[in-house]
Amino acid sequence: MNLTRFPRVNLTLSVTPLEFLPNLTRHFGGPDLYIKRDDHTGLALGGNKTRKLEFLIGDALAKKATHIVTQGATQSNHVRQTVAAANKFGLKSTVLLEERVGNAHDDYYANGNVLLDQIFGTTIETRPPGLDMNQELAAVGERLRAAGETPYLIPGGGSNPIGALGYVVSALELVAQANEQRLRIDHVVHATGSTGTQAGFLVGIEGSNSRIPVLGVSVRAPREKQEENVRRLARQTWELLGIRGEFPDAAVAVNSDYVGGGYGVPTEGMIEAVQLLARHEGILLDPVYTGKGFAGLVDLVRKGHFKKGENVVFLHTGGAAGLFAYRSILAPQPAFKR
């Protein structure tokens, strides 16, 4: 697959590590657990959006854009990485933060990714829940154009065919790494939200005929809807790359059993997953995506879905900045009594 046909900037410190998790593997006594560290992509605390932004910012620069516009939930990791990337390439940015999670603690609106967005100096506009955020994005684009700017609109999560190319790269990178380490990967598991990660990753796996099953653990939509959304973007990405034949729809697999009360709403499983990986391996997950994704992996290991002797790779997509927004959930008892 020739990805050099697309404009691209350099933002990612790849190859990201592929590591064995010896302590958790011993703890469960089930499959051998590995982790692909896409939380260490290098830009502004890292995460999966950085890989997508290589192609999105590349495209924006090719189109002579002056101003990046994007949107996300209040604690969006995508928004944080996007504004950092825009700054690096001298582009202005405006971001729309949607108040998607009700009843949240003050930290949710001020700490974590919101604090970082403010340090990066982007223009933040907030929106109440329930609006059509794509329409809001388009309206801001029109306003900037009328003011003489050349806006470049990036959809939520950077999930369009251009952004998904970043995860085609990630899949090819993981396959090459596994070949190098002589590691037979039996399953890849990761958190899925706006779908660009799973769609791009599957296009990389299937387009290179690598035959590795990929399971997306949904953080928002029910299984069938999420599978349909992943499939649609995967087909478009397949077409953009001009791969022969058709994207194999049957490769798309999502489990939505770990969403709990909704997007960004904490679950017991998420809290346990964050603590398990931190306490056994010294690795930080996040409360919104990887905490729920890893909770799914843990539950499936306990249920015997993954067998002893199999090698299971968790694709860590980042997000630890969000931990600071969930302090009241993750550390309800203050350490200091003052």
Ligand X SMILES: *Cc1c(COP(=O)(O)O)cnc(C)c1O
> So which residues are the catalytic ones?
76
DSSP-derived pairing of the beta strands 67-73 and 151-154: parallel
Q: Is 323 left (phi over 0), alpha (psi -120 to 50) or beta?
A: alpha
Of all residues in this chain, which one has the CB nearest to ligand X in the complex? 319
Q: Which is nearer to ligand X, 230 or 276 (CB)?
A: 230
Q: Which is nearer to ligand X, 93 or 290 (CB)?
A: 290
Q: Which is nearer to ligand X, 112 or 318 (CB)?
A: 318
Alpha carbons within 13 A on the beta-carbon side of 149: 20
As a whole number of angstroms, the distance between CA 258 and CA 86 comes to 33
Q: Give the CA angle between residues 136, 160, 205 to the nearest 5°.
A: 155
Minimum gap (Å) between residue 149 Cβ and ligand X: 26
Minimum gap (Å) between residue 194 Cβ and ligand X: 3
As a whole number of angstroms, the distance between CA 146 and CA 67 comes to 13
As a whole number of angstroms, the distance between CA 188 and CA 177 comes to 14
As a whole number of angstroms, the distance between CA 155 and CA 56 comes to 10
**Residue with token string 């009241």:** 328
* DSSP code, position 217: E
What's phi and psi for 39, nearest 5 deg? -75, -15
b (16+ CB within 10 A) / e for 211-229:
ebebbbbbbbbeeeebbeb
Minimum gap (Å) between residue 29 Cβ and ligand X: 28
As a whole number of angstroms, the distance between CA 275 and CA 284 comes to 8
Minimum gap (Å) between residue 214 Cβ and ligand X: 12
Minimum gap (Å) between residue 48 Cβ and ligand X: 5
| Closest alpha carbon to 57 in 156, 157, 153, 194 | 153
Q: Which is nearer to ligand X, 30 or 291 (CB)?
A: 291
Chain residues in the site for ligand X (CB under 6 A)? 47-48, 77-78, 157, 159, 191-198, 286, 289-290, 317-319
Q: Which is nearer to ligand X, 36 or 78 (CB)?
A: 78
What's phi and psi for 225, nearest 5 deg? -65, -45
Minimum gap (Å) between residue 312 Cβ and ligand X: 17
Here the tokens at position 179 are 């070949």
Q: Which is nearer to ligand X, 192 or 256 (CB)?
A: 192
What's phi and psi for 219, nearest 5 deg? -110, 5
Q: Which is nearer to ligand X, 94 or 237 (CB)?
A: 237
Minimum gap (Å) between residue 285 Cβ and ligand X: 9
b (16+ CB within 10 A) / e for 300-322:
bbeeebbeeebbbbbbbbbbbbb
